[in-house]
């Protein structure tokens, strides 16, 4: 007679080997979901320190030049302290590389961690994948831990590549760095990334949508980032800032000559990450699928049988903007805050630039004699160009989503010409980018006089319009790629943006011909506030827009649609 | 017959035997046409070709005499479409989706939407992501039926609907047909065809293997006969009869399939001691399975074994 196993003991196949197999499968799947982000972050992680290191000798080739450059950078540091830590030993290639090439990467890695965690829980939950995973004999805790392991592996890979970029950057500056220093610098970066991942995991248990989780997590990370930024310029707040993981990360400066590795701070990062992940696991075990941990009491609402009366939903372009209204508000407010912040630093930064002979070239390159105007023209508008480019990439991501999630099929099933779908996307992008650029410029115009900057209204308008054209240029590249390869459009645009950012930096360094600068979409934008329209750039952008959206319309006419 | 849908040699070759091949089909105006086939047979591909979502490798398709590929916008003006898989509308509420899709057509008839939502018992006030799969399907039906259409192209319309709502859907189809609307609905559910359609096309591995009125399809039917004998079963005599297939004997129990008349078989059975005799008509599903019998088993009888 065969013995019947007790009901309480799970079959050996579930408790043993198959469960381990499930974990391995989940880790593999997790690595697969992170692969594109890993490529992008690792690319930035390598290029940023490498470019900083390689440009150092061009800026300061001799010992005397390094000493001068170091003093000037130390003087400039406090002006940028709200964005990145104060410089340390900028008279050395490794010190400059840490300050310019590495510190800002903390934000990139944190953003990745947050996005990955909210995607892991909420996005997969919305797509029904989490339900499938949970139907397997894996268990909620093991599922999350398997995915944490996958992300840790991916993040560690990106940190290693950043270390390689750092070593290569230092070497290109004719200096050397020890392996131990690279490891010590990488440890807090990985820890910070895992903290952001933990914040995202916890946020995903509280909010009920990916967007909500992303917003909640971003708000938490922004708050601790601002705390760290404020503490940088107010040393009295150092004690309070210790609760900021960004602050704990900044405390390690192992790659800087004479820098240090703060073991306690690094350990605190990993402990924080572990606690957050533990909280998230506990919350996931407690909550219902498709619901947040904190559920609102269900209240009886009258049944609705009628369509929405919202007129915006019925009008081309406005219907898309209305659907994206929360995101658009975020983009616009971000642009306005950025404008207010950067332009409000114009006087102080300008004075510094004017007082330091080494920065005269920067002012002259901006095409003005006013250092304050140069700050607005070259610093703020460069950042604004990056913001509108990011907005265009975000729109491209929406278009790819329309395709993958069946909305494009539904749209084309209506009596709408296919070219009109592309035209409406183009118009939506123009309106959104113009709104961001116009309100950003309005803030610029309002803040600039207080900083002693007198802006030419006509040129400010032109600069604003050209920002929208720049966004459209990125959008055109995205539309063209989406017509053939919708899934890779966003990564391709990311590469175009990063390449566009670095080409102007690397071209003088490697003696590239002047036409090569026009390969950068940001270079095509020029410095319209101070030197007027860069006509070559304008026509190249117009050509890209015409070819991109024209090609996308033609491709949309012949391409097949459907999942 | 006025033709609503006409295809000539319509082919979409995805390679390796996948797709749709040489489809010649005519569907009359006002007809409710069922498009039947197992998963992967090419039903969705056919509808997507009609809707110009995918482009034919060769051949052509017309709706009300208008080429689907050359003039897709004109075609879509008169077609209400339900995709096989609903799009993801995320956080939009049902009422917003209706207004959005209605806006793409230039407007929406609120009274019609209200009536459909009422009959399908759909709350348009809830967010799309909160809908169950059945409610998502109901919203798809509202979107397909809310405009006056001359043709409804519905890809597996009752997927996920509960039986009561399915009945309401059939009534909607009957009303549409009574109003002169042509309905082309795909399904792999045979009872749906029996309930709603006048003619059925059966698709297999990308090829249309049969088009017939439902009553014609019934001619394909056969009867199963089972008999219990008190003594010896006249097995060899039964096997020798024309029209008698799938003969099996277990102890004193005989079962077989009979095409055509029963006379010769009853005469043979009468030579034995019949204790009990039962016949029953196979369901349409059995007919369907017979049509889809694997070519590897051509000699097997078209009967209940596969059930």
* Residue B299's pLDDT band (cuts 50, 70, 90): very low
Tell me the nearest-neighbour CA distance from B111 into chain A, angstroms.
Answer: 8
Give the per-residue pLDDT at A563. Answer: 56
A457 in contact with chain B, both atoms CB, cutoff 8 A: no
Closest Cα in chain B to A417: B73
pLDDT tens digits along B9-60:
999 999 988 999 999 999 999 999 999 888 888 999 999 999 999 999 999 9
- Walk me through the domains of chain B, giving residue ranges and CATH numbers: 3-218 (3.40.50.300), 220-306 (3.30.70.920)
Give the per-residue pLDDT at B115. Answer: 97
Helix ranges (DSSP H) in chain B = 43-50, 72-77, 94-104, 110-119, 133-145, 163-178, 190-196, 214-219, 235-239, 263-269, 284-291
Give the per-residue pLDDT at A6. Answer: 42
- Residue range A436-446: average pLDDT? 96
* A350 is a domain residue: yes
Percent with pLDDT over 70 in chain A = 93
A326 in contact with chain B, both atoms CB, cutoff 8 A: no
Tell me the nearest-neighbour CA distance from A408 into chain B, angstroms.
Answer: 8
pLDDT tens digits along B208-266:
988 988 777 666 667 889 999 998 899 999 999 988 888 999 989 999 988 878 888 99
**Pair A176, A170: CB distance under 8 Å:** yes
DSSP state of A516: G
* A137 is a domain residue: yes
B115 Cβ partners below 8 Å, 6+ apart?
none
Task: Say yes or no: A254 and A341 in one domain.
Answer: no
A558 and B98 within 8 Å at the Cβ level: the answer is no
**Pair A429, A395: CB distance under 8 Å:** yes
Distance between CA A65 and CA A58 in Å, rounded? 10
* A72 is a domain residue: yes
* A301 is a domain residue: no
Task: Say yes or no: A366 and A334 in one domain.
Answer: yes
B296 in contact with chain A, both atoms CB, cutoff 8 A: no
Give the DSSP H/E element, type plus range, for residue B160: none
Give Cα separations from A385 to A335, A339, A467, A528 (angstroms): 10, 12, 6, 12
Q: Phi-psi region for residue B104, left (φ > 0), alpha (ψ -120 to 50) or beta?
A: alpha
Domain boundary among A292, A327, A345: A292
A563 in contact with chain B, both atoms CB, cutoff 8 A: yes
Task: Say yes or no: A486 and A340 in one domain.
Answer: yes
Q: Phi-psi region for residue A541, left (φ > 0), alpha (ψ -120 to 50) or beta?
A: alpha
Give the per-residue pLDDT at B82. Answer: 96
Residue B110 has pLDDT above 50, yes or no: yes
With tokens 């309070």, the residue in question is A240
* Residue B74's pLDDT band (cuts 50, 70, 90): very high
Closest Cα in chain A to B81: A413
B90 and A126 within 8 Å at the Cβ level: the answer is yes
DSSP state of B231: S
**Pair B243, B269: CB distance under 8 Å:** no
Residue A10 has pLDDT above 60, yes or no: no
The pair of structure tokens assigned to A247 is 């602050």
With tokens 């003005």, the residue in question is A368
Put simply, the chain A residues between 78 and 107 with a CB less than 8 A from any chain B CB are: none
What is the length of chain B? Answer: 307
* A345 is a domain residue: yes
> Nearest Cα to B83, choosing from B128, B127, B31, B140?
B140
Task: Say yes or no: A222 and A274 in one domain.
Answer: yes
B118 in contact with chain A, both atoms CB, cutoff 8 A: yes
Chain A residues in contact with B122 by the CB 8 A cut-off are 305
Chain A residues in contact with B74 by the CB 8 A cut-off are 415
- Residue range A91-120: average pLDDT? 92
Distance between CA A440 and CA A442 in Å, rounded? 5
With tokens 């073991």, the residue in question is A263
Torsion, CA A529, CA A530, CA A536, CA A542, rounded to 10? 0
A307 in contact with chain B, both atoms CB, cutoff 8 A: yes
- Residue range B163-192: average pLDDT? 91
Task: Say yes or no: A188 and A222 in one domain.
Answer: yes
Task: Say yes or no: A272 and A335 in one domain.
Answer: no
* Residue A18's pLDDT band (cuts 50, 70, 90): low
Give the per-residue pLDDT at A325. Answer: 92
The least confident of A68-77, A335-344, A518-527, B60-69 is A68-77
Task: Say yes or no: A273 and A418 in one domain.
Answer: no
The least confident of A139-148, A430-439, A503-512 is A503-512
pLDDT tens digits along A385-416:
999 999 999 999 999 989 988 999 999 999 99
Chain A residues in contact with B129 by the CB 8 A cut-off are 126, 209
Tell me the nearest-neighbour CA distance from B75 into chain A, angstroms.
Answer: 8
Of B92, B108, B125, the CB nearest to A304: B125
Distance between CA B116 and CA B129 in Å, rounded? 20
For chain B, the average pLDDT equals 88
B77 and A561 within 8 Å at the Cβ level: the answer is no
Residue A262 has pLDDT above 50, yes or no: yes
Rg of chain B in Å (alpha carbons) = 24
Chain A residues in contact with B127 by the CB 8 A cut-off are none
**Pair A333, A218: CB distance under 8 Å:** no
**Pair A506, A520: CB distance under 8 Å:** no
The neighbouring-strand residues paired with B258 are B223, B244
Pick the residue of B91, B102, B139, B151 with the most A CBs within 10 A to test the interface with A by mutation.
B91
A560 and B125 within 8 Å at the Cβ level: the answer is no
For chain A, the average pLDDT equals 87
Task: Say yes or no: A217 and A321 in one domain.
Answer: no
Percent with pLDDT over 90 in chain A = 53
Domain boundary among A237, A259, A292: A292
A273 Cβ partners below 8 Å, 6+ apart?
A191, A194, A195, A197, A198
Distance between CA A327 and CA A398 in Å, rounded? 11
- Residue range B82-95: average pLDDT? 92
The DSSP code sequence of A286-351 is HSPTTS-SSPPPP-------SPP--GGGGSTTHHHHHHTHHHHHHHHHHHHHHHHHHHHTHHHHHH
| Exposed e or buried b per residue across B197-212, where buried means at least 16 C-beta atoms within 10 angstroms of its C-beta | bbbbbbbbbbebeebe
Give the per-residue pLDDT at A12. Answer: 40
Closest Cα in chain B to A561: B53
- Residue range B187-198: average pLDDT? 81
pTM: 0.79
What is the length of chain A? Answer: 563
A302 in contact with chain B, both atoms CB, cutoff 8 A: yes
Residue A359 has pLDDT above 70, yes or no: no
Distance between CA A103 and CA A100 in Å, rounded? 7
Residue B297 has pLDDT above 80, yes or no: no
Q: Which is more confidently placed, A540 or A299?
A: A540
The neighbouring-strand residues paired with B185 are B34, B154
Residue B5 has pLDDT above 90, yes or no: yes
**Count of the separate structural domains present in chain A:** 2
Q: Which is more confidently placed, A329 or B299?
A: A329
* A105 is a domain residue: yes
Task: Say yes or no: A284 and A252 in one domain.
Answer: yes
Pick the residue of B44, B53, B151 with the most A CBs within 10 A to test the interface with A by mutation.
B53
Residue B301 has pLDDT above 50, yes or no: no
What is the spatial order of strands in the sheet that B244-250 belongs to? B244-250, B253-258, B223-229, B274-280
> Nearest Cα to A109, choosing from A167, A184, A196?
A196
Task: Say yes or no: A125 and A160 in one domain.
Answer: yes
pLDDT tens digits along B120-154:
999 999 999 889 999 999 999 999 999 999 999 99
Put simply, the chain A residues between 24 and 83 with a CB less than 8 A from any chain B CB are: none
**Pair B244, B227: CB distance under 8 Å:** no
Distance between CA A86 and CA A89 in Å, rounded? 10
Chains A, B: CB contacts within 8 A come to 114
Residue B300 has pLDDT above 50, yes or no: no
Expressed as residue numbers, the domain containing A246 is 13-292
Give the per-residue pLDDT at A180. Answer: 94
* A557 is a domain residue: yes
DSSP state of B127: B
Residue A1 has pLDDT above 60, yes or no: no
B15 in contact with chain A, both atoms CB, cutoff 8 A: no
Chain B residues in contact with A561 by the CB 8 A cut-off are 53-54
Pick the residue of A122, A303, A305 with the most B CBs within 10 A to test the interface with B by mutation.
A305
A414 Cβ partners below 8 Å, 6+ apart?
B76, B101, B104, B105
Tell me the nearest-neighbour CA distance from B114 into chain A, angstroms.
Answer: 5
Task: Say yes or no: A247 and A319 in one domain.
Answer: no
Give Cα separations from B88 to A403, A405, B33, B157 (angstroms): 10, 5, 29, 17
Tell me the nearest-neighbour CA distance from A141 into chain B, angstroms.
Answer: 25
* A87 is a domain residue: yes
- Residue range A348-373: average pLDDT? 70
Distance between CA B63 and CA B102 in Å, rounded? 22
Residue B201 has pLDDT above 90, yes or no: yes
Closest Cα in chain B to A313: B100
Of A306, A313, A562, the CB nearest to B114: A306
Distance between CA A350 and CA A453 in Å, rounded? 10
A562 and B118 within 8 Å at the Cβ level: the answer is no
Tell me the nearest-neighbour CA distance from A172 into chain B, angstroms.
Answer: 49
The DSSP code sequence of B246-273 is EEEEETTEEEEEE-S-SHHHHHHHTTS-
The pair of structure tokens assigned to A44 is 């930035």
| Exposed e or buried b per residue across B75-109, where buried means at least 16 C-beta atoms within 10 angstroms of its C-beta | bbbbbbbbbbbbbbbbbbbbbbbbbbbbbbbeebe
A413 and B81 within 8 Å at the Cβ level: the answer is yes
Rg of chain A in Å (alpha carbons) = 26
**Pair B167, B195: CB distance under 8 Å:** no
Q: Which is more confidently placed, A239 or A96?
A: A96
The pair of structure tokens assigned to B176 is 């549409």
Distance between CA A228 and CA A85 in Å, rounded? 9
Task: Say yes or no: A280 and A320 in one domain.
Answer: no
Closest Cα in chain B to A291: B130
Tell me the nearest-neighbour CA distance from A139 into chain B, angstroms.
Answer: 24
Give the per-residue pLDDT at B283. Answer: 62
The pair of structure tokens assigned to B270 is 């009468």
Closest Cα in chain B to A403: B87
B110 and A307 within 8 Å at the Cβ level: the answer is yes
> Nearest Cα to B299, choosing from B246, B257, B238?
B246
A24 Cβ partners below 8 Å, 6+ apart?
none
Residue B175 has pLDDT above 80, yes or no: yes
**Pair A178, A109: CB distance under 8 Å:** no
Tell me the nearest-neighbour CA distance from B302 into chain A, angstroms.
Answer: 36
Give the per-residue pLDDT at B60. Answer: 96
DSSP state of A486: G
**Pair A352, A363: CB distance under 8 Å:** no
């Amino acid at each position: 007679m065969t013995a019947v196993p007790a009901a309480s003991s799970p079959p050996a196949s579930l408790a043993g080997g198959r469960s381990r197999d499930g974990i391995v499968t989940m880790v593999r799947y997790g690595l697969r979901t992170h692969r594109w982000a890993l490529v992008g972050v690792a690319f930035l992680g390598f290029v940023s320190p490498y470019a900083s290191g390689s440009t150092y000798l061009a800026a300061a080739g001799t010992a005397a030049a390094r000493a001068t450059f170091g003093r000037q950078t130390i003087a400039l540091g406090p002006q940028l302290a709200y964005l990145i830590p104060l410089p340390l030993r900028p008279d050395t290639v490794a010190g400059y590389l840490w300050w310019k090439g590495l510190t800002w990467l903390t934000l990139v890695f944190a953003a990745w961690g947050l996005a990955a965690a909210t995607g892991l829980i909420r996005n997969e939950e919305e797509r029904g994948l989490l339900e499938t995973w949970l139907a397997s004999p894996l268990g909620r805790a093991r599922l999350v831990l398997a995915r944490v392991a996958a992300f840790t592996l991916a993040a560690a890979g990106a940190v290693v590549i950043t270390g390689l970029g750092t070593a290569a950057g230092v070497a290109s500056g004719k200096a050397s760095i020890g392996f131990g220093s690279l490891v010590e610098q990488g440890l807090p970066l990985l820890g910070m990334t895992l903290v952001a991942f933990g914040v995202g995991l916890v946020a995903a248990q509280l909010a009920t949508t990916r967007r909500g989780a992303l917003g909640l997590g971003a708000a938490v990370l922004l708050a601790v980032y601002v705390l760290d930024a404020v503490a940088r310029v107010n040393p009295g707040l150092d004690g309070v800032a210790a609760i900021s993981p960004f602050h704990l990360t900044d405390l390690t400066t192992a790659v800087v000559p004479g820098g240090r590795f703060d073991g306690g701070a690094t350990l605190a990062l990993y402990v924080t990450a572990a606690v957050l992940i533990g909280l998230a696991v506990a919350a996931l075990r407690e909550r219902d699928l498709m619901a947040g941990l904190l559920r609102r009491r269900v209240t009886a609402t009258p049944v609705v049988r009628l369509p929405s009366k919202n007129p915006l939903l019925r009008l081309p372009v406005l219907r898309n903007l209305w659907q994206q209204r929360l995101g658009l508000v975020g983009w616009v407010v971000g642009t306005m805050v950025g404008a207010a912040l950067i332009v409000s630093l114009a006087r102080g930064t300008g004075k510094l630039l004017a007082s330091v002979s080494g920065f005269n070239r920067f002012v002259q390159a901006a095409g003005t004699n006013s250092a304050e105007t140069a700050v607005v023209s070259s610093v703020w508008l460069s950042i604004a160009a990056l913001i509108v480019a990011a907005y265009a990439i975000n729109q491209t991501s929406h278009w790819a989503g329309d395709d993958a999630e069946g909305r494009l099929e539904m749209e084309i099933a209506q009596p709408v010409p296919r070219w009109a779908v592309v035209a409406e996307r183009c118009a939506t992008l123009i309106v959104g980018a113009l709104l961001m650029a116009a309100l950003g410029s309005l803030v610029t115009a309002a803040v600039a006089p207080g900083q002693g900057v007198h802006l030419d209204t006509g040129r400010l308008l032109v600069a604003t319009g050209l920002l929208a054209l720049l966004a459209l240029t990125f959008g055109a590249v995205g539309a063209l790629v989406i017509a053939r390869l919708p899934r890779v459009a966003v990564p391709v645009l990311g590469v175009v943006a990063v390449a566009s950012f670095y080409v102007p930096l690397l071209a003088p360094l490697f003696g590239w011909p002047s036409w090569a600068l026009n390969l950068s979409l940001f270079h095509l934008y020029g410095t319209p506030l101070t030197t007027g329209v860069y006509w070559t750039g304008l026509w190249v952008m117009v050509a890209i827009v015409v070819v991109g959206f024209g090609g996308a319309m033609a491709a949309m006419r012949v391409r097949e649609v459907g999942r | 017959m006025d033709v609503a849908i006409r295809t000539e040699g319509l082919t979409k070759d995805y390679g390796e035997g996948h797709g749709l091949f040489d489809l010649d089909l005519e569907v009359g105006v006002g007809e409710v046409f069922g498009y039947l086939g197992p998963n992967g047979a090419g039903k969705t591909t056919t509808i997507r070709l009609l809707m110009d979502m995918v482009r034919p490798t060769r051949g052509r398709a017309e709706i009300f005499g208008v080429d689907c590929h050359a003039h897709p916008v004109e075609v879509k003006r008169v077609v209400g479409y339900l995709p096989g898989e609903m799009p993801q509308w995320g956080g939009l509420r049902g009422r917003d989706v209706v207004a959005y899709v209605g806006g793409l057509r230039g407007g929406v008839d609120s009274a019609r939407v209200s009536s459909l939502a009422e009959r399908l018992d759909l709350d348009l006030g809830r967010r799309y992501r909160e809908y169950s799969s059945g409610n998502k399907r109901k919203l798809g039906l509202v979107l397909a039926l809310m405009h006056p259409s001359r043709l409804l192209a519905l890809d597996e319309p009752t997927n996920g609907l509960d039986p009561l709502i399915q009945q309401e859907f059939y009534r909607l189809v009957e009303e549409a047909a009574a109003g002169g609307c042509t309905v082309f609905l795909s399904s792999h559910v045979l009872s749906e065809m029996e309930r709603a359609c006048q003619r059925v096309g059966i698709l297999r591995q990308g090829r249309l293997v049969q088009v017939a009125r439902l009553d014609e399809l019934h001619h394909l039917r056969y009867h199963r006969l089972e008999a219990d004998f008190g003594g010896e079963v006249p097995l060899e005599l039964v096997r020798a009869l024309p029209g008698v297939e799938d003969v099996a004997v277990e102890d004193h129990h005989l079962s077989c399939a009979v095409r055509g008349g029963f006379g010769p078989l009853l005469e043979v059975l009468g030579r034995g001691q019949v204790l009990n005799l039962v016949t029953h008509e196979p369901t349409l599903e059995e007919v369907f399975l017979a049509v889809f019998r694997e070519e590897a088993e051509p000699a097997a009888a078209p009967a209940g074994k596969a059930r």
